[in-house]
Copies of this chain bind each other. A is one copy, B any other.
Amino acid sequence: MRKLDLREDWGNYLKEATDEELAEAALLLHSFKRKRNGDYSTFVGALFGMERDFDEENGTLTLTVQNSTLLNNSIGILHGGLTATILDSTMGTLANNSLPDDKAVVTTEMKVNFLKPGIGDAFRCVANIIHKGSKIIVVEGKVFSENHKLIAHSTGSFFIINRKR
A127 at the interface (CB under 8 A from B): no
- A59 contacts chain B at the CB level, 8 A cutoff: no
Interface residues on chain A, size class: 35 or more
Q: Which residues of B contact A155 (CB under 8 A)?
A: 111, 113, 153, 155
Q: With an 8 A cutoff between CB atoms, is A21 at the interface?
A: yes
CA of A25 to CA of B115, assembled, Å: 35
CB pair B15–A36 under 8 Å, yes or no, is no
Instruction: Kindly state whether residue A98 has any CB partner on chain B within 8 Å.
Output: no
Q: Report the copy number of this chain in the oligomer.
A: 4
Check: A2 CB closer than 8 A to any chain B CB: yes
Contacts of A80 in B (CB 8 A): 85, 88, 92, 107, 110
A2 touches B21 (CB 8 A): no
Q: A29 to B150: give the CA distance in the assembly, Å.
A: 35
* A9: nearest chain-B partner, CB-CB: B29
Task: Evaluate contact between B87 and A113: CB separation under 8 angstroms.
Answer: no
Q: Is A52 on the interface with B (CB-CB < 8 A)? A: no
